[in-house]
Amino acid sequence: MSAPPRPGGRPGDQPGADLLPALQVTGLAVEFPVERALVRAVAGASFSVMRGETVALVGESGSGKSVSALAIMGLLDPPGRVTDGEVRIAGQPVLGLREEQWRTLRGRKVAMVFQDPMTSLNPSHRIGRQVAEAIRVHDAAVSRSDAKARAVALLERVGIVPAAARARDYPHQLSGGQRQRVMIAMAIANQPDLLIADEPTTALDVTTQAQVLDLLRDLQREMGLALLLITHDLGVVAGIADRVVVMYAGRVVEEGTVDAIFRRAAHPYTRALLASVPRTGDVRGALHSIVGSPPDPGERPPGCAFAPRCTLAEDRCRAKVPDLRPVAEYHRAACVFGDQITVGRLVP
């Protein structure tokens, strides 16, 4: 399924450059050997992100979202390995690149913001120095003084003020939200085409979450970035994403525009996730929860992995893994009932 048309790209791009996906993932499979067995953490995931587009990759913990991101970035730790599929960044195949090739690509073409900045920032270096180093590692011709000035400008752009003074602070002197802003400054320092944000608001309070998401949205629009936002919370994506890709048990189970997902979700899992999102003024009492638990990655059932938790499941659901199939324009779901759910003939 191609992405819906939208404006993208940057000034100076060649005609048609915005039509090439910034990220194209096709049939990605990732395995980890565990106690003489192979655990397939990602099982044939496919999705894309266009220039100037924000795509939210959503699912519960263990669904394969973060493992997919690490595979895309070439950061899988052994013994984890990609066993199948293809990943292209700005049209370039990246699986199998040597580490020196990855060092050139990361930061310049693709950058990543991790959920815990304290594990990514060096506690013994001032934040201004760390942002400046992110600039100079990709452009040795930039002088230290110029890199320092650019670092201060970047810190100011992401909302660290007064930037010149705070550049002399160490990570422990900043709040969680400020540290995440520093990580975003480092990620955009070399103007990448693609930014991957992996649960960037998980450890933050609600107000700071909203501020970080607003910052990502503003930067995406300002720079023409392709943004892949990874989250377990559908509630955070409505105001920032153009499309949503829902993962469950290592597979993509639904994909569509934000409007399609929030108004006409076609997969029972997606609908259950939406029902679990708290709403302002909701007086229902206890929050809705999804019955059961996601399957163990090493013991996934045959057929649809959501079948044991699904109120609509039939024998055919348990016999074969359903394909992603269209239920509307720019909207696909891996459910045999998807088209009936979409038009309201069935309610999970």
pLDDT above 90: percentage of residues in the chain: 71
Question: Which range is most confident: 9-13, 117-121, 292-296, 308-312?
Answer: 308-312
Q: What is the pLDDT of residue 13?
A: 46
> What 3-state class would DSSP assign to 109?
coil
One-letter amino acid of 40: R
Place of tokens 């000034």: 11
Mean pLDDT value across the chain: 90
What is the average per-residue pLDDT within 2-13? 52
Is residue 329 pLDDT above 50, yes or no? Answer: yes
> What 3-state class would DSSP assign to 37?
strand
Task: Encode pLDDT of 192-235 as tens digits.
Answer: 999 999 999 887 888 999 999 999 999 999 999 999 999 988 88
Q: Spell out the alpha helix ranges (H) of 158-287.
A: 163-166, 176-188, 206-223, 258-264, 268-275
Please report, for the chain, the start and end positions of each structural domain, with discontinuous segments joined by +.
Answer: 17-109+192-342, 122-191
Task: Encode pLDDT of 101-122 as tens digits.
Answer: 998 899 889 999 998 888 889 9
Report the alpha-carbon distance of residue 203 to residue 220 in Å, rounded.
22
Higher pLDDT, 87 or 285: 87
Q: What is the pLDDT of residue 194?
A: 97
pTM of the model: 0.91
One-letter amino acid of 257: T
Confidence of residue 18 (pLDDT cuts 50, 70, 90): low
Report the alpha-carbon distance of residue 261 to residue 237 in Å, rounded.
11
Q: Cα 67 to the chain's mean position, in Å?
A: 10
Report the alpha-carbon distance of residue 267 to residue 259 in Å, rounded.
15
Is residue 9 pLDDT above 50, yes or no? Answer: no
Task: Encode pLDDT of 126-142 as tens digits.
Answer: 999 999 999 998 888 89
Q: What is the pLDDT of residue 15?
A: 42
Confidence of residue 1 (pLDDT cuts 50, 70, 90): low
What is the average per-residue pLDDT within 73-97? 94
Least confident residue range of 10-24, 246-260, 283-297, 313-327: 10-24
Task: Encode pLDDT of 142-157 as tens digits.
Answer: 999 999 999 999 999 9
> What 3-state class would DSSP assign to 136?
helix
* Contacts with 305 (C-beta within 8 Å, 6 or more apart), sequence order: 248, 249, 250, 251, 294, 295, 321
Least confident residue range of 34-48, 93-107, 213-227, 288-302: 288-302
The CATH code for residues 17-109+192-342 is: 3.40.50.300
Which residues are 23's β-sheet partners? 49, 89
